[in-house]
Amino acid sequence: MDNIKNQQIKKQVERWDLFARLTPTMFLLTTLLLTIFDIVKIEYAFYVGLIGFAITAVTWWWWAIFTIKYLITTLARAAANLTNVDQEVADVKMELRKLKDET
Amino acid sequence: MKHSTFKIIKAATNITSGLSMSALIVLGVMYISFTNAFVFNNSGISVTNNPVTGQQINFILEGSREHECVLTRVHSHATNTKTGEIFDFDFDKKVYLRSGDYLGNATGVVDHQWGIPKPENMPAGVYEASLYSEFDCVYLLFTKSKVQMFDDIALIIE
């Protein structure tokens, strides 16, 4: 289950990376061409950019919050498991020492 | 694709997206500051030949202008402070007294002086003149129609 979720997060990070690399350049070039050829008014392009920026920021914010929450939960569980393992190793060591002392 | 080629493409897209983002932010801020800017800053209009005794009212506009703007429409009138009677000024009969920028599109310090014939049947008295002007302003790629008003211009007719 965790593995599937981890793969999903990895894919999402890759998509965000691709989005961040391509979108600003594509938007800038498209807007410049459309405004230079007088197809779109610069005012509309500005508002489209502003709305796009706002939607991206809000989406990214919530995605980041949920991902961080998931990562912290995973980390806490891993830490708890490690503590258990550490305790079990200590118990085994104690048992072994007792056996050694008896023999 | 080779690993080195992939790394170069990745670095190139990083740089172009960073530069594009910076350009978008700079252009956005410039557009907001352009649209919010007044046509004239620290400006005022006053009548220079107060109290007016002749047939011409002389005005002066002082201030500064940040962006290139062309005057497209203007309307001006004076309201009698006692009776409330309104007299329109005929801007078609405007004469420039002093202006280094007759077309009105230069930036920097503005010092316009012009005269307008006194409206007929305008009785003596104290008036409050106002001027409403529309401009088409241009700055880099941006264009915007703007309005600037000047109110409470003291005018005394004798």
Task: Convert the pLDDT of each residue in B13-37 to its tens digit.
Answer: 999 999 999 999 999 999 999 999 9
Any domain includes B135: yes
Query: If you average pLDDT over residues B141-147, what whole number do you get?
Result: 90
Any domain includes B102: yes
The per-residue pLDDT of chain B, averaged, comes to 88
Residue A11 binned pLDDT confidence (cut-offs 50, 70, 90): very high
Flag whether residue A59 sits within 8 Å of chain B, measured between CB atoms.
no
pLDDT of residue A5: 86
Any domain includes B28: no
C-alpha to C-alpha distances, B1 to A16, A17, B5, B6, B8, nearest whole angstrom = 22, 19, 7, 7, 11
Structural domain harbouring A24: 2-74
Any domain includes A98: no
Structural domain harbouring B76: 37-157
Flag whether residue A30 sits within 8 Å of chain B, measured between CB atoms.
no
B105 CA: distance to closest CA in chain A (Å)? 21
Residues 5-34 of B with CB under 8 A from A: 13-14, 16-17, 20-21, 23-24, 28, 31
Any domain includes A42: yes
The number of folded domains in chain A is 1
Any domain includes A95: no
Any domain includes A97: no
Task: Convert the pLDDT of each residue in B90-134 to its tens digit.
Answer: 888 888 887 665 445 566 787 888 899 998 888 999 999 999 999
Flag whether residue B145 sits within 8 Å of chain A, measured between CB atoms.
no
Any domain includes A60: yes
Note if the pTM is more than 0.80: no
Task: Convert the pLDDT of each residue in A32-56 to its tens digit.
Answer: 999 989 899 888 999 999 999 999 9
Any domain includes A82: no
ipTM for the predicted complex comes to 0.72
The per-residue pLDDT of chain A, averaged, comes to 92
> Among partner residues A35, A42, A49, which is closest to B24 by beta-carbon distance?
A49
Which chain A residues are closer than 8 Å to B17 by Cβ?
A: 20-25
Any domain includes A81: no
CATH assignment of the domain containing B104: 2.60.40
The half-sphere exposure of A45 on its side-chain side, counting CA atoms within 13 A, is 22
Task: Convert the pLDDT of each residue in B49-106 to its tens digit.
Answer: 889 998 899 999 888 888 888 889 999 999 999 999 999 998 888 888 876 654 455 6
Measured between CA atoms, the residue of chain B closest to residue A20 is: B17
Any domain includes B83: yes
Q: Which of B36, B140, B141, B144 should we substitute to test contact with A (largest number of A Cβ atoms within 10 Å)?
A: B141
* First vs last C-alpha separation in chain A: 46
- Radius of gyration over every alpha carbon of chain A, rounded to an integer in angstroms: 27
The number of folded domains in chain B is 1
Any domain includes B66: yes
**Cβ contact A25–B17 (<8 Å):** yes
Q: Are B74 and B95 in contact (CB under 8 A)?
A: no
Any domain includes A100: no
